[in-house]
Amino acid sequence: MAQTTPTAPVGETPAGPPLPAPRSARFGGLRRIWAAIREARGVPRFMLWTGAVISALFVILALFGPLIAPYGFDTYQSGGTRFPKQGAPDGDHWFGTTVQSLDVLSRTVYGARTALEVMVLAVVFSLVIGVLLGLLSGYFGGWLDRILVLVMDALFAFPYLLLAIVAGFVFAGIAGGSIITAALSITVVYIPQYFRVVRASALSAREATFVEAARAMGAKPSVVIRKYLFGNVIQSVPVITTMNAADAIATLAGLGFLGLGIQPTDAAEWGYDLSRAIDDVNAGMWWTCLYPGLAMIIAILGFTLLGEGLNDVLNPTMRRRRISKVLLPAHTRRRTVDATEGTAAE
Amino acid sequence: MSNTSKQSGSLRRYVLTRIALAVPMVLILLVLVFVMMRVAPGDPISASQGGKLNAAELAARRHAAGFDAPLYQQFWDYLKSVATLNFGTTFSDRRSVRDIIVENGGATLTLTAGALVFAAVIGIPVGLLAGRYRDRAVDVTSRLFSTVSYAAPVFVTAPLLMLAFGSTSGQASPLVQLNVPTQTHILILDAALAGDWDAVGDITQHLILPSVSLGLLVVGVFIRMIRINLIQSLQGDYIEAARARGVKERHVVARHGFRNALVPVITVLGLQVAMLLGGAVLTEQIFNWPGIGRQLIDYINQRDYVAVQGIVTVFALVVVVISMLIDFVNALIDPRVRY
Amino acid sequence: MSTVTEPMNRTADPVLSVRDLRVWYGTERGPVRAVDGVSFDVRPGETLGLVGESGCGKSTLGRGVLGLTPAAAAVDGDVRLNSKGGAGRNLTELSDREIQQLRGPELGLIFQEPMTRLNPLMRISQHFEEALHTHHKGLPKKEVKARALEALRGMGIPESRYENYPHEFSGGMRQRIMIALALVLRPAFIVADEPTTALDVLVEAQIIRILADLRKNFDTSLVLITHNLGIVAEACDRVAVMYAGHIVEQGDARTVFADPQHPYTKELLRSTISLSTTGLHFIPGSPPDLVQPPEGCRFHPRCPVAMVGCATVEPPEVTLPSGVRSTCWQQAVEVDPSLADELGTGGREPLAAVKEISVADEA
Amino acid sequence: MSLLVNAESNDRHLSKGIHWMSRNKRVVAAAAVAFLAVGASACGGKKDNSSAGGGKGAVIVGTIDSVSSLDPAGAYDYGSWEVIDSVYQKVMHFPTGGTTPEPDAAKSCAFTDPKTYACTLQPGLVFSNGDKLTAASVKFSFDRMVGIAAPNGPSSLLGSLESTEAKGTDQVVFHLKQADSTFPSVLATDAGAIVDEKTFPKDKLLDGSKIVGSGPYTLDKYTAKQQASFLASKTYKGPAKLNNGQFVLQYFSEASALKQAVKDGTVNAAFRTLSPTDTADLKKTSGIQVLDGTGTEKRYLVFDAKVKPADQKAVRQAVAQVIDREGIAKDAYDGTVAPLYSMVGNGIQGHTEAFKDKYGTPDKAKAAAILKAAGITAPVDLAYAWTPSHYGAAAADEATAIKRQLEATGLFKVKLSSTEWQQYQKDEKSDTYASYMIGWFPDLPDADNDVSPFLSKQPFLGTGYDNKQVQDLLVKEQGTDDPKVRDQAFADIQKIVADDAPIIPLWQGKQTVVIRDGVTGADKALDPTMFRFYELGTK
């Protein structure tokens, strides 16, 4: 990643308002985001931070799952004694046990781990592919653009869960239900979103005079894309990313629920646990369904709040000057001097 | 009215161009679906007979069923089936996808409509209030509600609802299903046509839980979109202008704010139908709802990709058509669109 | 000196008389003193030009009078509307409901940007119907249409376009429609907020003529907000020059232009291109931050003739024999040397040095 | 044009002062009212559906099976056969509770020689549409079945049928390719269903649901994947005694939904297939009974003798020695399955407890000894494959249970691998798995049908097990219909299999039917060969 090399036409170009100053081409966007976050107030601030905290907790839970969870996700006995089958919550198993006599608490914790892995993979995949395609399409245009747009729109036209299901069904057949597979099936759903956003702003940036200038100066496309478009685009991405992160959790669970997700013996997955729990619910066993369900909702909630908050903060049309009531100090009447009589009057 | 002919003309022109634009999209969709289904492994025969027959027998049957025909051949057949609106015949139980749509579409339609009604009844007023009284209590609570409802997947809310309100599964009690003569394949309509009001009651009772679970999926988006658009339209210049003409505040909000907020809202809400169709798959599965979504899952499990292909195609086409209709509606509401 | 308007202006008492009007916005950084103690009068059929750099509070003043300031703003002072409907009430003390009823029939506002001021989803007819229905309950439909068409005709909009949508009109036409919308209710007093800045020169002339004719046809008083001194000279009886939330000079347009008193007015006039001026002159520095306006005279950091005292003591408003009122120590001390003491010892030394620095800061 | 008129009129409204919002309000209000009304009428609806149970004397049975074909030539799955069996008649049938076929449409049948089976039809048989059922109909049905050989059809069951011959109106002679003692049983399956030659096309499957048979019921109303309603046939002449005038099959997508339906009383009975949890819960529910009967589904642990370490007999034996069938039945299936100690199913003629006799109760000491004797050092690394997408959710539990049992002995380290069903079949045949999970649903209640597919010269599983002695025994038992000879052959086969342990039988499914109080005859209906809907009745 070469910083501004003297050959790069950065210096000459007037720092157009929509663009970060050349030097911060790559971090300017982020810096602006951070500034916006810091000056957030009121509801957006609340959503932003609540979301952030919940998401953080979720991540911690996932990362340190093995330390937090009392047992492994497939542990069914300890010290030779087998766990109760569908045992109600008690001292040893705070969240009870499942039909496979697994500890619900541990399953839930490890579920977070799985969710995080898939989430990160899915988001990264779709981010990389989507942004890349979007930039190329928006920057170069032409037939490449036309074809990509058509395909993406077509993908976009699919009901997204349906798309994920079909993709899951395809991938699962090819590679079996691994974490990667799940992530891929979800990725397919999100690529079009990134593509659209990125392409749009790439298009607008492309018309901008300074980019024209840069190209006129013979800047390599790669340089222009990296320094201008990317810096420009970076801002719209965080919102979508967090929103998708939330979505990814739900979609993964949806796949798992339909048995198209990760293989149950490979990892703990909330959707699968829920599908198994449906029977228990009808049999009045609430704990196997409640805790994974709750965990999922909270996790999704966290990321959604984060995304919403970011959106409020970053989206200018949603930004709003804080109302602070003004108290006018007592009036001091302006003194007047009337030259028509030529005497000063208070 | 000198402008009458002009406007209708422009509207007609708009509709035609819009349709023309949809054609390549449809073609791409078809290719996508076809490719996906061919990448998908397995076939109905080894799925259903795999445990029973030896390899040679299986191969013979696969050949007999034409699963080893060359791709261009298969694609051509697929295109023909779409062109004839027949969408192919399922392998596992030899139903034409058209029949599936006709027989099970009614159920999905009922469910989706129910969900939309619920989402609209809750979402529109709340969204408007939230947008009008921004950052007040009503706004904050509604936003939290919308976020939660958005965060809770169908298969979490559904069981909980079942638990809470006593579960009802299927679109009606078997006897009701048995005794209502089939005319429109929309059970509730058939019951009404037959004048069997107990049946209608039974059907509606079964309809509530599924619609609510599915509706909760989109009500959040409803609220959010309506709110945002109202806020934005209330910031419009013509709002201040109207105030400057001394227009009553409630007219300013209603006539200028709400109405202008409506245009983008309709678009987004229309897109939600796609989301509903997706969610319907899960909902139908959970509530044993005999809709298209449930058929889809069945056929996926049977690896009947002729069926899956057909159903997915129909879903996709429906979405394309809907988005087209939305544009037409917008063209009606917003004169600018026509030009 | 025009003879037509003079006597009328002098005799009739003002339709609108504003005293010590203040409009402050609340922000993160504290209150913005957009309008900070402004007084002026507008007489029937009179056109008052309100000039000043952008951001000096012109538009806020206009909206402040009509009570269209945002929720975050605080307004006080005395705004008397002596028209039939106004009945000498103080507008700043009216309820939202009361002021809303005055807007339209008594107070009109014409906007800077005509393109976005009409509701794109409503036909022109509907705009008029709405306006008329609001203020004349139960006006028969025929009557409504008749009056609307009359107003449009006045603005040179053909009847055939009555049912059209806003987007079917050009910018100039829209502005004329906006004006027609304001006039159709025959308000006694109209604020025109830079009505021509968004339009090209030809259209501008057109609009200005229309506005100038107002008072002939309807005897409407007009406050014409602009930064274009040419327009003022052309269309206004009197002019008020605003700087940083204050009116620094006001009086008969011709008198002020012929012999500007306040240094800012002088600078302003010099900086406008005319055949006489050679090369472009500009006022160094930039308008002050209205959250912490400069002590003393707000113009002193940029004032070429500022005195040391200007930086600390606020100047009085001097009414000169010509009737022109200027808020500047220069005139004040001329008129009444005794006031000089207030500037303190050495208060009359030029502030040049200080100015250099402040200018340096700005650069 | 009309569009425009609308727009116009709208605007007229607007100008009259009826504004969008007020219109919108009205819409919303209307919708709200509608929704409330829905709610209200729903409460009204409740009464009537609780009474659904008994209504109109119809017995409503819920199931999660699905029908793939209403035409016998295309039907080769339990869901379809539930329908076929009720609508069509067969030359032979299995009497309730029995596994030896008896005449049904036939008056009498017998082997005239090992390769010829001759039947005489009952006089005066007619199809539900009035057409006569003659020897020609029977010949037509079998020729058609074999001729069409539908990809999803059961024609493979008639593999040994050379040709069918109609003599006169009531004589049917079946010529076989080779001696096949199981042929009478085959005739009793629904592969032998007799169809009306005037209704069914000769060379293709019948479309639609207008099917005609001579069975106990006629298909009255059919909605695919939702409902099938059967009315007692007025023309039926056969052994079955009907206890109901009408029964309804209600199709469910999810076991949980089915369970809820039987709990709510919207169905009178639930057959195939509730989850162990549901069954356990229903047992506790008042007003509901859960009946168990022997099922036909079996689950085998199959070794591939071509893959290490399964190629070593000692390893296979050691596994057989420690595997705890009771444990699997309890842990994975809540006792909804029964331990199985032989490839030949419980209750099938010729069944022996071969594995129990050889290995007794699970014993890790013996197992260790076996390995030691063969000079194998424990722990042995053994890969076990299973598929999540064909044997239901509990398959996961079974796989885990097996892993746990084997590892608990300290003699094995088990690596579980799960593969999607499609791939699974390929891998298993291509000797990829050392050991794997296979389920078996026999077509006939005949020992031969439980063993020959796995042990014959070309087994359709990758077992890598090729035992001449066993293959000879199979030929022998297939060559005769003398019970004593066959039983002996099967006894020997089971003994050898238990010793070589190429395949370890684990469990045999129980069929479970859940009925609400007032439903009669469920015990008789619950027959291993086929569920007898006609036995059901309501008090």
**Pair (B115, B207) in one structural domain:** yes
Res. A175: pLDDT tops 90: no
User: Cβ contact (<8 Å) for C134 and B236?
Assistant: no
The pLDDT, as a whole number, for residue B110 is: 93
The pLDDT, as a whole number, for residue B22 is: 83
CB atoms within 10 A of CB B45: 25
Domain count, chain D: 3
Confidence of residue D9 (pLDDT cuts 50, 70, 90): very low
Confidence of residue D24 (pLDDT cuts 50, 70, 90): very low
Domain count, chain B: 2
Res. D515: pLDDT tops 80: yes
Are D52 and D266 spatial neighbours (Cβ–Cβ below 8 Å)? yes
D210-223 pLDDT, tens per residue?
999 999 999 999 99
Are A31 and A24 spatial neighbours (Cβ–Cβ below 8 Å)? yes
Picking from D188, D176, D222, D175, the residue whose alpha carbon sits closest to that of residue D71 is: D222
**Pair (D390, D450) in one structural domain:** yes
Res. D10: pLDDT tops 50: no
Res. C99: pLDDT tops 60: yes
Confidence of residue D339 (pLDDT cuts 50, 70, 90): very high
Residue D260 touches partner A, C-beta closer than 8 Å: yes
Selected residue of C65, C97, C117, C137 to mutate for chain B interface (largest B Cβ count, 10 A): C117
DSSP D208: S
The pLDDT, as a whole number, for residue A180 is: 85
A239-292 pLDDT, tens per residue?
788 888 888 898 899 888 887 778 777 788 898 888 888 878 777 788 888 889
The pLDDT, as a whole number, for residue D411 is: 94
Tokens at residue D240, please? Answer: 């079955």
The pLDDT, as a whole number, for residue C26 is: 80
Listed in sequence order, the residues at least 6 apart from D245 whose beta carbon sits closer than 8 Å to its beta carbon are: D57, D58, D231, D232
Res. A298: pLDDT tops 70: yes
Residue B196 touches partner D, C-beta closer than 8 Å: no
Task: Give exposure, A115-127, as e/b (b: 16+ Cβ within 10 Å).
Answer: bbbbbebbbebbb
Q: How far apart are CA D432 and CA A95, in angstroms?
A: 40
Q: Which has more pLDDT, D459 or D471?
A: D471
Listed in sequence order, the residues at least 6 apart from A41 whose beta carbon sits closer than 8 Å to its beta carbon are: A322
**Pair (D17, D97) in one structural domain:** no
Residue C292 touches partner D, C-beta closer than 8 Å: no
Q: For residue D257, give the nearest of B99, B169, B205 by CB distance.
A: B169
Q: How far apart are CA D4 and CA D10, in angstroms?
A: 10
The pLDDT, as a whole number, for residue C13 is: 80
Res. A10: pLDDT tops 60: no
CATH-assigned architecture of domain A25-72+94-345: Orthogonal Bundle (1.10)
Per the structure, the complete domain to which residue B251 belongs is given by 101-295
CB atoms within 10 A of CB B132: 18
The pLDDT, as a whole number, for residue A179 is: 84
Q: Check whether the bond before C315 is cis (ω within 30° of 0).
A: no
The pLDDT, as a whole number, for residue A345 is: 42
Judging contacts by C-beta atoms under 8 Å, the chain D residues touching residue A266 are 418
Neighbours of chain A (3+ CB pairs under 8 A): B, C, D
The pLDDT, as a whole number, for residue A17 is: 40
Q: How far apart are CA A334 and CA C21, in angstroms?
A: 12
The pLDDT, as a whole number, for residue D13 is: 36
C134-172 pLDDT, tens per residue?
888 888 989 999 999 998 988 888 989 999 988 888 888
Phi and psi at A2, nearest 5°, equal -70, 130
Tokens at residue D467, please? Answer: 């035992």
The pLDDT, as a whole number, for residue B160 is: 78
Per the structure, the complete domain to which residue D73 belongs is given by 2-86+213-292+511-538
Confidence of residue C3 (pLDDT cuts 50, 70, 90): very low
What's the mean pLDDT when you consider all of chain D? 85
Residues B238, B244, B245, CA angle at the centre, nearest 5°?
95
The pLDDT, as a whole number, for residue A88 is: 84
Taking the mean position of all CA atoms in its chain, how far away is CA B215?
11
Diameter of chain A by CA atoms?
Answer: 111
Q: How far apart are CA D130 and CA D435, in angstroms?
A: 55
CATH of domain C16-122+170-249: 3.40.50.300
Q: Which has more pLDDT, A227 or D124?
A: D124
Judging contacts by C-beta atoms under 8 Å, the chain A residues touching residue C290 are none
Work out the percent of chain D whose per-residue pLDDT is above 90. 59
Res. B2: pLDDT tops 70: no
Taking the mean position of all CA atoms in its chain, how far away is CA D79?
7
Taking the mean position of all CA atoms in its chain, how far away is CA B164?
27
Residue C61 touches partner A, C-beta closer than 8 Å: no
Q: Which has more pLDDT, D532 or A34?
A: D532
Q: Which has more pLDDT, C262 or A230?
A: C262
B251-294 pLDDT, tens per residue?
888 888 888 887 777 777 777 777 788 888 888 988 888 899 88
The pLDDT, as a whole number, for residue C82 is: 86
Q: For residue D11, give the nearest of C126, C133, C141 by CB distance.
A: C126
**Residue D329 region by backbone torsions, left for phi larger than 0, else alpha for psi between -120 and 50, else beta:** alpha
The pLDDT, as a whole number, for residue D340 is: 95
Are B255 and B282 spatial neighbours (Cβ–Cβ below 8 Å)? no
Q: Check whether the bond before C301 is cis (ω within 30° of 0).
A: no
The pLDDT, as a whole number, for residue C276 is: 55
Q: For residue A326, give the nearest of C39, C74, C320 by CB distance.
A: C74
A177-226 pLDDT, tens per residue?
678 888 888 888 888 888 887 887 777 766 666 667 776 777 776 776 66
Q: Give the H or E element holding residue D382.
A: strand D380-386
Highest mean pLDDT among A287-291, A305-309, C287-291, D378-382: D378-382
* Closest chain A residue by Cα to residue C33: A328
Q: For residue B246, give the nearest of C113, C122, C135 by CB distance.
A: C135
D:372-431 residues touching chain A, CB 8 A cutoff:
388-389, 393, 396-397, 399-400, 404, 416, 418-420, 422-423
The torsion of the CA quartet C245, C246, C251, C252, rounded to 10 degrees, works out to -20
User: Cβ contact (<8 Å) for C314 and A322?
Assistant: no
The pLDDT, as a whole number, for residue A343 is: 46
**Pair (D406, D452) in one structural domain:** yes
Q: How far apart are CA C68 and CA D370, in angstroms?
A: 97
B112-139 pLDDT, tens per residue?
999 999 998 998 889 888 888 887 888 8
End-to-end CA distance of chain B: 18
- The model's pTM is 0.79
* Closest chain B residue by Cα to residue D4: B8
Are A229 and A207 spatial neighbours (Cβ–Cβ below 8 Å)? no
- Which segment of A14-28, B214-228, C286-300 scores lowest on mean pLDDT? A14-28
Res. D243: pLDDT tops 80: yes
Q: What does the pLDDT average to over B85-99?
A: 86
AA letter at D323: I
Tokens at residue B223, please? Answer: 């609220």
Q: What does the pLDDT average to over D109-125?
A: 93
Domain ranges across chain C: 16-122+170-249, 264-356
Highest mean pLDDT among A82-86, A215-219, C281-285, D517-521: D517-521
Residues D340, D343, D347, CA angle at the centre, nearest 5°?
65
The DSSP code sequence of A16-69 is: -TTS--GGGTTTHHHHHHHHHHHT--HHHHHHHHHHHHHHHHHHHHHHTHHHHS
C183-235 pLDDT, tens per residue?
888 888 899 988 887 777 888 888 888 888 877 777 788 999 988 888 888 88
AA letter at C261: Q
The pLDDT, as a whole number, for residue D29 is: 39
What's the mean pLDDT when you consider all of chain C? 83
User: Cβ contact (<8 Å) for B151 and A158?
Assistant: no
The pLDDT, as a whole number, for residue B167 is: 66
The DSSP code sequence of D157-187 is: GGTTEEEEEEETTTEEEEEESS--TTHHHHH
D510 has which bridge partners?
A: D294
Diameter of chain C by CA atoms?
Answer: 74
Work out the percent of chain C whose per-residue pLDDT is above 90. 14
Residue C153 touches partner D, C-beta closer than 8 Å: no
Q: Which alpha helices (DSSP H) does D363-517 contain, by range?
A: 364-373, 394-408, 421-429, 447-455, 468-478, 483-500
Are A224 and A136 spatial neighbours (Cβ–Cβ below 8 Å)? no
**Pair (D217, D169) in one structural domain:** no
Res. A342: pLDDT tops 50: no
Confidence of residue D384 (pLDDT cuts 50, 70, 90): very high
Q: How far apart are CA A278 and CA D260, in angstroms?
A: 11
The pLDDT, as a whole number, for residue C2 is: 39
Tokens at residue A275, please? Answer: 């599908």
CATH code at position D77: 3.40.190.10
User: Cβ contact (<8 Å) for D15 and C125?
Assistant: yes
CB pairs under 8 A between B and D: 218
Res. C258: pLDDT tops 80: yes
CATH code at position B181: 1.10.3720.10
- Specify the pairing of strand D89-90 against strand D519-520: unpaired
The pLDDT, as a whole number, for residue D94 is: 93
A124-174 pLDDT, tens per residue?
998 889 888 888 887 777 888 888 888 888 887 777 777 888 888 777 666
D36-85 pLDDT, tens per residue?
333 333 333 333 333 333 334 789 999 988 898 999 999 988 899 999 99
Q: Check whether the bond before A265 is cis (ω within 30° of 0).
A: no
**Pair (B117, B265) in one structural domain:** yes
**Pair (D375, D486) in one structural domain:** yes
C23, with CB counted inside 10 A (0-12, 13-18, 19+), is: buried
Q: What does the pLDDT average to over D402-409?
A: 92
- Specify the pairing of strand D246-251 against strand D269-271: unpaired
**Pair (D398, D434) in one structural domain:** yes
The pLDDT, as a whole number, for residue A230 is: 65
Phi and psi at C114, nearest 5°, equal -75, -25
B96 has which bridge partners?
A: B89
User: Cβ contact (<8 Å) for B151 and A297?
Assistant: yes
Confidence of residue B92 (pLDDT cuts 50, 70, 90): confident
Are A19 and A231 spatial neighbours (Cβ–Cβ below 8 Å)? yes
The pLDDT, as a whole number, for residue D14 is: 32
The pLDDT, as a whole number, for residue D365 is: 94
| Chain D closest-CA separation from residue C125 CA (Å) | 8
Confidence of residue A322 (pLDDT cuts 50, 70, 90): low
**Pair (D278, D166) in one structural domain:** no
3-class state of residue A95 by DSSP: coil
Tokens at residue D521, please? Answer: 């005859």
Work out the percent of chain B whose per-residue pLDDT is above 70. 94
AA letter at C339: L
The pLDDT, as a whole number, for residue D312 is: 93
**Pair (D370, D489) in one structural domain:** yes
Residue A2 touches partner C, C-beta closer than 8 Å: no
**Pair (B70, B167) in one structural domain:** no
Q: What's the complex ipTM?
A: 0.75
B25-84 pLDDT, tens per residue?
888 888 888 888 777 766 777 777 766 677 777 788 778 777 778 888 888 888 998 888
Residue B29 touches partner A, C-beta closer than 8 Å: yes
- Which segment of B42-46, B181-185, D172-176 scores lowest on mean pLDDT? B42-46
In chain C, which ranges are E strands? 16-25, 32-42, 47-51, 73-81, 89-90, 107-110, 189-193, 221-225, 238-243, 246-252, 317-319, 325-326
Q: How far apart are CA D32 and CA B126, in angstroms?
A: 13
